Structure 1
């Protein structure tokens, strides 16, 4: 089985929206009031937001493909003056977790960041998502800061966030 990245374009908007409607709720709906994550999905994956994100020339936005199946997304933002890259989004269908794909995707992220002259990579992770935190720690990320997320409709107990970084 082969893992690869396919750039997301405006023409892929419906595919992106449908993918996120399929893979986001099983993992994250418990974070939201009444288990309703539609507000978040619609705010982050609408056509206007996608257009804005694709206009950022310092970012890469990919579908994650496993053989012919689209199983997730990856978005990286290169902060060139700071020589760092933000791993902005990494969502993977739960059915494909535990296969070592996450580590391959992190390595691909390191490679892309290095190609963009970054010397570090960073991300933000919820302090209650222990599986994700442990995965990122296993990949060498360290917690460097914490803050409170200010999203509408998210339950208070899930607002804690960690900023994590790794030197490349």
Structure 2
């Protein structure tokens, strides 16, 4: 049943969607993964956040905001090559992830380091997409899904 969702599996087993995906996700996922960050086009100030502000802060602060503090699991940290940032349902930025650049900021919450501490250029994005290593490019639809601003995208 290709239209069966993890919510359907969770309902059938009497568990949550998240529990069903965690237990059986490997069955339906592709072999590659990207970290997807979805947000609204706004800025939030949070004095408790080590970054001070997050969201679409723009300019030099955008990379710091995008690195974020995300609940990214061990497998995704080990396997993801790219972080994709979507704003209001459209991909805006892509970063190549430094595989040794993950830092645990809070218990089970991580921030990434991008190769070169920058987002990728259009040519770099196009090359990764054409090679099958990147599932989405700037301008592509990437709707926010329930459950938070971060999600793994298996392809």
Using the size of structure 2 for normalisation, the TM-score is: 0.27
Query: RCO (CA 8 Å, sep 6+): is it higher in 1 or 2?
Result: 2
Query: Going by fraction, where is strand more abundant, 1 or 2?
Result: 1
Using the size of structure 1 for normalisation, the TM-score is: 0.26
